[in-house]
Chains A and B, each alone.
Chain A
Amino acid sequence: MSAYTPTVTGTGAKATIQRFGGYLAGMVMPNIAAFIAWGLITALFIEVGWIPVDKIGGWGDFSGPGLTGIGLVGPMITYLLPLLIGFTGGKMVHGHRGGVVGAIATVGVIVGTDVPMFLGAMAIAPLTAWIVKKLDEAIAGKVKAGFEMLIDNFSAGIIGGAMAVGGLYIVGPVVESITTAAGNGVQWLVDNHLLPAASLIIEPAKVLFLNNAINHGVLTPLGAEQSAETGKSILFMLETNPGPGLGVLLAIMFFGPIALRPTAPGAIIVHFFGGIHEIYFPYILMKPQLIAATILGGATGVATAVITGAGLVASPAPGSIFAYIAMLPKGGVWGPLLAILMATIVSFVVAALLMGFGRNARAESDAEVQAELKAAEEEVAELKAESKQQRP
């Protein structure tokens, strides 16, 4: 209990996983606005949406001057979103030039399949940018003066074009089979009532700052593919449910260590309304047994969603109650909200039990908590000293 943040300072392995996950999430997260635009347009204007409009939603039989007859929903998810991810993935590797070749190559995987190619974009775009980067490094300083622009444009154009063709014939079909397998795996978990067990992995990973890696690196791309087919996906609700964190924060507010109680209301607002879940991680790292509360709360939320057939149209990002409300599908309003409510209740009760409904807190005097804070500061100082030694 005296250890302020016992595990989070972490090992190299954790940092590596964080970095790889952060890399995947880093391709998606800067483009979340586009996902939200697509989600809102889909929720509103498709045939089963809140305000069906055929020309926008791209359904039914319509035609008119200048209209392609396909609406906005399909092209946005098929082309816009993977291209943005591809551009961003390329840009992360090799700047704007990398972004351009990443986008070129992404078109190949898009047209090579009939599922939205998020994972394909995440694979081929950084690879293409990396190839161009290596080439640029290899020929750096060897280009005759005056030929830089010619070489730059044609090297990137040729490599990007070649990768687009390769993506069409090779990467697209491979990634499609991987995507299909992953989708089938999720469906198998749903069919066998095992999906709530995902919380066993997701909730502990969240507080180790793998939240973005899991949600935007894995679940958002898979969910978007599912949502494009069926109009909603439960995968958007696995990591983003604000219920488990809210339950823990409420329990801290009423029954937590006395010194921590006043910090909880502010944290609740940031967490539940602002959607910044990171705010509750430190409370769990401080009292690691509370992870049981978020796991059980999360599993309850997922189970509720499975039973009610709940799903969201697009990823609620950040995981705020407002984002949830904006992404509710017509005809499926109550399932997601019930999932949040049930998760909150279970998480709150378990966390309250773990803290003895405040009896332990009264026993712990303020002095003890102060000592804990002091110990934490010392620990941090130690860590700094350690890292000093590691540094050259």
Chain B
Amino acid sequence: MTTIDPAAVKKLVVACDAGMGSSAMLASTLKKQLAKSGIAVEHTSVQGIPADADLVLTHAGLLDRARGVAGSTPVVPFNLFLGDPAVTKVVTALQNGRPFDV
């Protein structure tokens, strides 16, 4: 378990296979939800996860590859592209500035 301090999260990256479809969709949702928090939300392919990402979200099916690229950056897997509890947990914690475990 790593505990994440929301204050240290400056860039949240949503990753999918191509970095064009599903990640773009989820990122645009999260961008709206996190607009007030000042956290930058980007979408990329799992291959292109940037080194300056503080937190990565990706589908559970792409977790192995995402971890391989992300290195020590925490990767949170989710299952549903709309309304996944794991994503909701991260968003709520970031909105409220509460530390959370990943």
Contact = CB atoms under 8 A, between A and B. Distances in A.
A388 B63 CA distance: 13
B98 to A, nearest CB: 17
A282 B81 contact: yes
Q: Which of A29, A380, A388, A391 has the most CB of B within 10 A?
A: A380
Nearest to B65: A15
Contacts of A208: 61
A263 B1 contact: no
A12 B17 contact: no
B21 A318 contact: yes
Contacts of B63: 9-10, 383, 387
B95 interface: no
Interface string A14-49: 110011001101100100000000000000000000
B17 A4 contact: no
B18 interface: yes
Given A22-B17, A25-B17, A278-B16, A263 B60 contact: no
Interface string B73-98: 00001111111011000000000000
Nearest to A385: B1
A376 interface: yes
Interface residues of A, number: 45
B102 interface: yes
A278 B85 contact: no
B86 A212 contact: no
Nearest to A10: B64
A55 B47 CA distance: 42
A380 B86 contact: yes
A152 interface: no
A197 interface: no
A391 B60 CA distance: 17
Contacts of A318: 21
Given A211-B17, A373-B85, A380 B45 contact: no
A387 B67 contact: yes
Contacts of A10: 61, 63-64
A209 B21 contact: no
Given A266-B82, A282-B81, A5 B47 contact: no
Contacts of B83: 263
B7 interface: no
A96 interface: no
Contact of B79 (A15, A25, A376, A385): A376
Given A263-B80, A267-B82, A384-B1, 7 more contacts: A18-B17, A211-B17, A212-B17, A278-B59, A278-B81, A285-B61, A388-B1
Interface of A: 4-5, 8-10, 12, 14-15, 18-19, 22-23, 25-26, 29, 208-209, 211-213, 216, 263, 266-267, 270, 274-276, 278-279, 281-282, 285-286, 318, 373, 376-377, 380, 383-385, 387-388, 391
